[in-house]
């Protein structure tokens, strides 16, 4: 069940260029969240910023009842969040919202493919399914924007890194590295999150090599409850699709169902 | 039971309290049942319905603007038949009154929907002639008083339930339009729908909304809405459901003083799922603090 929670800030630190990690005390979310699900945060202090910000959960500590959120500063709301100090105030959040990734019991090996901000929710996936054989493919713009690589190395059997400029790991898009390995290793399931351009290629790769793939989508969001119909994404098959809601039908979808042609 | 009397009557139907969910901001109600006891909401105007299921506009459909939001959903909905067979029975398990918000491309379509709603448990029909986000119908019916008269009259002839006409603020004179709706037989008027606006991404030089323009709502439009409600209250003798940027109980009191019998909460539902209950609680607190034991003592109570 989703709840409204008033959550004290435990920590709020910069972990990469323009990227922050906030730790919140939210035991209910920590115990109930599935990787890929998100919390919907009310921006404090400035009542002119009306809409909540949806941020996926990056990690949990069930013993201490805390959750980690990793977010990029992209506008006024996230800029305000980045300046909050521990115990300064409590955040108003709704969650856990949305449908997360689903990993069937018979799955023994898992590939995680993330780009930029999209790496964040995959860390919770690596944490939850750390008993599986996990290979992570993480792409960043450059070295200064990379984060949590050591965490992934601790949780995964293998970690591949790429950056657009080659300042860390291999140079190029992470999907290029993925394609080098997929024909020989044939994973059972791919979980992806990242920019639309990356997800489009990931969808093509998963279809060409016939590997099931779940991707997490992002769209400008309103209520988070499925009530306002604004966070739409085209789901279905060509010539027979509908706009589904990222907040309650997603954010995680089977990549085969996502019709990217309908994105402007 | 003590506490002030909050129940209001609109066209012979009694609402437990004057708080209404504005269409398009509260889905079909059920989506919010984890957070809200729907029995405590006076009425719910459901997501705008069309004769056939409708996909709506491409994303992005929403953008935050100073103290407001712009949306261009474009009436995505599962169609009126799905509503009657699937959503309505679920919603009717609660005490809240149900308002079916209907949208046609033609007068004939509005009438067809009103006919389909005959002998259903819907409590009110809300004629949406004010949606700014569709290319056919919508606001084009709501800006011309003659057209408002024609569509209201036609639907009034074939609808069983009390008819609310929802007005757009994007007009030269709101009084003319309200008057036309009343003359044609409207049982109540709701206003305002959103104000047309736009936002531009200066990095891509593109409009933020895929539909280019959208409807502005939220606290940014509250003074405009309040003025229009006040103007209409002086023009018509039928009840008014006032809306536009109501975020608090104090905002609701302002609309009621301006002449609204009930008030709708819209954008605030996107900010907090419990917004309507919060507004209700604050309204009660205001009444208690001012020794007002009946909401009717406030309606139209503006002192000039």
pLDDT tens, position by position, B95-109: 999 999 999 999 999
pLDDT of res. A264? 53
Tell me the CATH number of domain A101-215, given options 3.30.930.10, 3.40.50.80, 3.40.50.1980, 3.30.70.520: 3.40.50.80
Angle, CA of A102, A107 and A112, to the nearest 5°:
65
| Cβ–Cβ gap B71/A1 under 8 Å | no
Q: What residues of chain A lie within 8 A of the CB of B66, using their CB?
A: 48
Q: Are A224 and A40 in contact (CB under 8 A)?
A: yes
Going along chain B, which residue ranges are E strands?
Answer: 8-10, 13-15, 19-21, 43-45, 62-65, 68-71, 97-102, 124-128, 163-166, 188-191, 195-198, 200-201, 206-207, 213-217, 240-243, 262-265
Fold that domain A217-264 belongs to in CATH: Dihydroorotate dehydrogenase B (pyrk subunit); domain 3 (2.10.240)
> Which of these is catalytic: B111, B131, B157, B159?
B131
pLDDT at position B2 is: 72
Tell me the pLDDT band of A87, cut-offs 50, 70 and 90.
confident
d(CA A178, CA A138): 10
**Are the C-beta atoms of B283 and B253 separated by less than 8 Å?**
yes
Q: Which two tokens stand for residue B7?
A: 């129940």
Q: Is A3 on the interface with B (CB under 8 A)?
A: yes
What's the average model confidence in pLDDT over A5-27? 97
Average pLDDT of the segment spanning B139-154: 92
* CA separation for the pair A251, A230 (Å, rounded): 13
What is the Cα–Cα distance from B113 to B75, expressed in whole angstroms?
A: 15
Is pLDDT above 90 for A1? no
- Report whether B23 contacts B126 (CB < 8 A): yes
Q: What's the pLDDT at B131?
A: 76
Q: What is the CATH number of the domain that holds B243?
A: 3.20.20.70
CATH classification for the domain delimited by A3-97, as one of 2.30.29.30, 2.60.120.10, 2.40.30.10, 3.80.30.20: 2.40.30.10
- Residue B278 in domain: yes
Element (H, E) at A79: helix A76-82
C-alpha distance from residue A72 to each of A15, A16, A247, B294 (Å): 10, 9, 20, 50
Put simply, whether A263 touches B (Cβ < 8 Å) is yes
pLDDT band at B130 (very low <50, low <70, confident <90, very high): confident
> In terms of residue numbers, what domain contains B179?
8-57+74-201+216-297
Which residue, chain included where needed, has tokens 């003074």?
B223
- Residue B3 counted as domain residue: no
- Residues B143, B144, B150: CA angle, nearest 5 degrees: 120
Q: How far apart are CA A182 and CA A190, in angstroms?
A: 11
Task: Please compute Rg for chain B using Cα positions.
Answer: 18
Position B185 in a domain: yes
The pair of three-digit structure tokens given for residue B4, joined into one six-digit string:
């002030």
Is residue B22, in this structure, part of any structural domain at all? yes
Q: How confident is the model at residue A263 (pLDDT cuts 50, 70, 90)?
A: low
The residue among B27, B29, B219 with the most chain A CBs within 10 A of its CB, best to mutate, is: B27
Distance between CA atoms of residues A67 and A62, nearest Å: 8
Question: How far B195 CA sits from the closest chain A CA (Å)?
Answer: 17
Is residue B131 part of the annotated active site? The answer reads yes
Q: What percent of chain A has pLDDT over 90?
A: 93
What are the residue ranges spanned by the domains of chain A?
A: 3-97, 101-215, 217-264
Mean pLDDT of B208-224: 97
Q: At A208, list the tokens.
A: 């060409």
């Amino acid at each position: 069940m989703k709840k409204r929670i008033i959550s004290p800030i435990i920590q709020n630190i910069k972990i990469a260029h323009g990227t922050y990690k906030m730790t919140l005390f939210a035991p209910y979310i920590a115990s109930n969240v599935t990787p890929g699900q998100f919390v919907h945060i009310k921006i404090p202090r400035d009542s002119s910023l009306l809409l909540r910000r949806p941020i996926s959960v990056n990690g949990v500590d069930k013993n201490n009842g805390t959750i980690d959120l990793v977010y990029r500063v992209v506008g006024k709301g996230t800029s305000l969040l980045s300046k909050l100090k521990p115990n300064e105030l409590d955040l108003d959040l709704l969650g856990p919202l949305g449908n997360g990734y689903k990993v069937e019991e018979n799955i023994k090996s898992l590939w995680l493919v993330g780009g930029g901000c999209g790496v964040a929710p995959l860390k919770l996936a690596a944490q939850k399914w750390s008993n599986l054989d996990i290979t992570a493919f993480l792409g960043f713009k450059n070295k200064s924007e990379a984060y949590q690589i050591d965490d992934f190395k601790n949780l995964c059997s293998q970690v591949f890194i790429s950056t657009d400029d080659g300042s860390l790991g291999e140079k190029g898009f992470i999907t290029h590295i993925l394609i080098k390995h997929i024909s020989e290793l044939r994973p059972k399931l791919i979980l992806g999150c990242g920019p639309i351009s990356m997800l489009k290629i990931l969808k093509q790769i998963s279809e060409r090599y016939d590997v099931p793939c779940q991707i997490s989508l992002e769209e400008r969001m309103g209520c988070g409850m499925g009530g306002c119909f604004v966070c739409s994404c085209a789901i279905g098959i060509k010539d027979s699709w509908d706009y589904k809601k990222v907040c309650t039908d997603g954010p995680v979808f089977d990549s085969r169902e996502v019709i990217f042609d309908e994105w402007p | 039971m003590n506490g002030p009397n909050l129940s209001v009557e609109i066209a012979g139907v009694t609402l437990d309290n004057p708080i209404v969910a504005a269409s398009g901001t509260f889905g079909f109600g059920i989506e919010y049942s984890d957070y809200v006891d729907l029995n405590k909401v006076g009425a719910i105007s459901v997501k705008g319905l069309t004769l056939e299921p409708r996909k709506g506009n491409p994303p992005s459909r929403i953008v935050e603007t100073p103290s407001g939001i712009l949306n261009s959903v474009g009436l995505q909905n599962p169609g009126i038949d799905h509503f009657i067979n699937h959503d309505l029975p679920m919603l009717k398990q609660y005490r809240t009154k149900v308002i079916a918000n209907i949208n046609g491309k033609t007068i004939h379509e509005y009438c067809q929907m009103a006919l389909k709603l005959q002998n259903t448990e819907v409590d009110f029909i809300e004629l949406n002639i004010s949606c700014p986000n569709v290319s056919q119908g919508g606001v084009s019916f709501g800006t011309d008083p003659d057209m408002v008269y024609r569509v209201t009259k036609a639907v009034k002839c074939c609808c069983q339930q009390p008819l609310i006409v929802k007005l757009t603020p994007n007009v030269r004179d709101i009084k003319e339009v309200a008057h036309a709706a009343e003359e044609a037989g409207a049982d109540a008027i709701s206003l305002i729908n959103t104000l047309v606006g736009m936002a531009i991404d200066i990095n891509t030089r593109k409009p933020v909304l895929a539909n280019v323009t959208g409807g502005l709502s939220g606290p940014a439009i509250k003074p405009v809405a309040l003025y229009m409600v006040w103007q209409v209250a002086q023009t018509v003798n039928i009840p008014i459901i006032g809306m536009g940027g109501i975020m608090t109980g104090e905002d609701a009191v302002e609309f009621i003083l301006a002449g609204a019998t009930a008030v709708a909460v819209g954008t605030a539902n996107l900010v907090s799922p419990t917004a309507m209950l919060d507004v209700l609680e604050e309204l009660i607190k205001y009444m208690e603090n001012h020794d007002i034991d009946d909401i009717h003592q406030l309606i139209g109570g503006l002192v000039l």
